[in-house]
Amino acid sequence: MNILAIDIGGTKLAAALIDANSQISQRLEIATPASSSPQALEEALAQLVAPYQGKAQCVAVASTGIIDQGILTALNPDNLGGLNQFPLQQTLQRLTALPCTVLNDAQAAAWAEYHYLADRFKHITFITVSTGVGGGVIINGQLLTGPHAFAGHIGHTLADPNGPCCGCGRTGCVESIASGRAIAAAAQNELQGKDARQIFSAAQNDNLQAKRLIIHSAQAICQLIANLKAILDTECVVLGGSVGLAQGYRQQVEEGLALLPPPFHIPVFAAHYKHDAGLIGAALFAAEQNQ
Ligand code: ADP
Ligand code: BMX
Ligand code: ZN
């Protein structure tokens, strides 16, 4: 059986077919529409799923936002071009005429990475540093979603009470300092208007401001990991997202963590499934729900 998996992020929409062995094929990617209109997202999803007609038996979605009872509610609408409410499950069922399972993107990625690590760990936390900062928590082998599907939104915990305003309405959230959008928003002078990818290349070329912006982000993630260890006694952290997986980023997080007292030390791994963790986790979750 093939599952059509879809990953909806603040920057890109990805889709692929996933078979019963979690093998991925026919992967496609398009840009997330920069519009607050639900119609724009629906049109983009229609374009994305069109090539898969007749190729899958069900649809599994990993999406940015709080995904509760099939509805996407943005905690930080800025990440989705201002879009706030979207009937995700219903829309994809209509577009594909297939049953559809929906989950938050970082929760889905956590589930995939847990499957990979399950022989060694039962308590893991996945952190995506991408357009935003998201999280998925596995406790005793169970994915924690919470009564309102809000669990794991660790990007909206406090990093700096004097920090920037976050798109969620709070001040100084981890996401407002560490995310790809935050790195770009803090850039000045020669880096103003550049995106996080360009700022990472500037850092490779020894631009000092770029290096400082990236270290600032990595330090916020390092403190977040220490908080997670204290709250959950999580056994390891898995880092994903294009910023989290960027060259040298994980090492900076690890270096910061090594400076904290030993009770806060935990291994920090790069996502085994890299940019496909959300797709694979959504498919695994859907297959288990449909059993
Ligand atoms: P999404 O948030 O849609 O899941 P990504 O995980 O690709 O997508 O995260 C998008 C963010 O990552 C953007 O801020 C983008 O500038 C940044 N980014 C993309 N590629 C790279 C890269 N190679 N190095 C560093 N940052 C990157
Ligand atoms: C935001 C939030 C989370 C999401 C995280 C990473 C919205 C729209 N999204 O904190 O639900 O998991 O970003 O999302 O409020 P990504 O787009 O960066 O992958
Ligand atoms: Zn916030």
The number of angstroms, rounded, from the C-alpha of 66 to the middle of its chain's C-alpha atoms is 12
The pLDDT value given to residue 291: 77
Ligand 2 atom nearest to 106, measured from its CA: 12
Q: Which residues 6+ apart lie within 8 Å of 182 measured at CB?
A: 164, 175, 176, 217
Report whether pLDDT(248) > 80.
yes
Residue 40 pLDDT exceeds 80: yes
Q: Which ligand is nearest to the CA of 153?
A: 2
How far apart CA 64 and CA 16 sit, in angstroms, is 17
Q: Is 155 in the pocket of ligand 1 (CB under 6 A)?
A: no
Answering whether pTM is above 0.90, one says: yes
Write down the residue that tokens 């009470």 correspond to. 161
Predicted pLDDT of residue 1 = 82
Q: What does the pLDDT read at residue 270?
A: 98
For residue 134, report the distance from its CA to the centre of ligand 2, in Å.
5
196 Cα–ligand 1 center, Å: 7
List, in order, residues 6 or more apart from 39 with CB less than 8 Å away: none
**Angle 38-49/88-96 helices, nearest 10 degrees?**
40
Rounded Cα distance between 272 and 151, Å, is 23
Whether 266 and 225 have beta carbons less than 8 Å apart is answered as yes
pLDDT band at 48 (very low <50, low <70, confident <90, very high): very high
pLDDT at 281 over 80: yes
Average pLDDT of every residue of the chain:
97
Ligand 1 near 176 CB (within 6 A): no
Amino acid 10: pLDDT: 97
Is ipTM > 0.85 here?
yes
- Token pair for 232: 């959950």
Task: Indicate if ligand 1 lies below 6 Å from the C-beta of 153.
Answer: no
Residues 128 and 134 sit within 8 Å (Cβ to Cβ): yes
User: pLDDT digits over 98-140, tens only?
Assistant: 999 999 999 999 999 999 999 999 999 999 999 999 999 999 9
147-177 pLDDT per residue, tens:
999 999 999 999 999 999 999 999 999 999 9
Q: Which residues surround ligand 3, an ion (CB under 5 A)?
A: 156, 166, 168, 170, 173
Distance CA 220, CA 218 (A): 5
Ligand nearest, relative to CA of residue 249: 1
- Please tell me the distance from the alpha carbon of residue 25 to that of residue 75, in angstroms, as a whole number: 32
Whether the per-residue pLDDT at 88 is higher than 80: the answer is: yes
Atom from ligand 2 closest to the CA of residue 75: 15
The finding on whether 62 has its CB within 6 A of some atom of ligand 1 is: no
The per-residue pLDDT for 178 is: 98
pLDDT class of 290 with cuts at 50, 70, 90: confident
- Picking from 86, 98, 26, the residue whose alpha carbon sits closest to that of residue 60 is 98
11 in contact with ligand 1, CB cutoff 6 A: yes
Residues 53 and 6: their CA atoms lie apart, in Å, by 14
Q: For ligand 1, say whether the CB of 104 is within 6 Å of any of its atoms.
A: no
CA of 81 from ligand 3 middle (Å) equals 16
Q: Is 172 left (phi over 0), alpha (psi -120 to 50) or beta?
A: left
Q: For residues 74-81, give the mean pLDDT.
A: 96
Distance (Å, rounded) from C-alpha 173 to C-alpha 217?
Answer: 12
The predicted structure's pLDDT at residue 201: 98
| Distance of alpha carbon 135 from alpha carbon 152, whole angstroms | 5
How do beta strands 58-63 and 12-18 pair?
unpaired
Select from 7, 67, 68, 79 the residue to mutate for testing ligand 2; criterion: most ligand atoms less than 8 Å from CB. 79
Is the Cβ atom of 196 under 6 angstroms away from ligand 1?
yes
Kind and range of the H or E run holding 224: helix 208-232
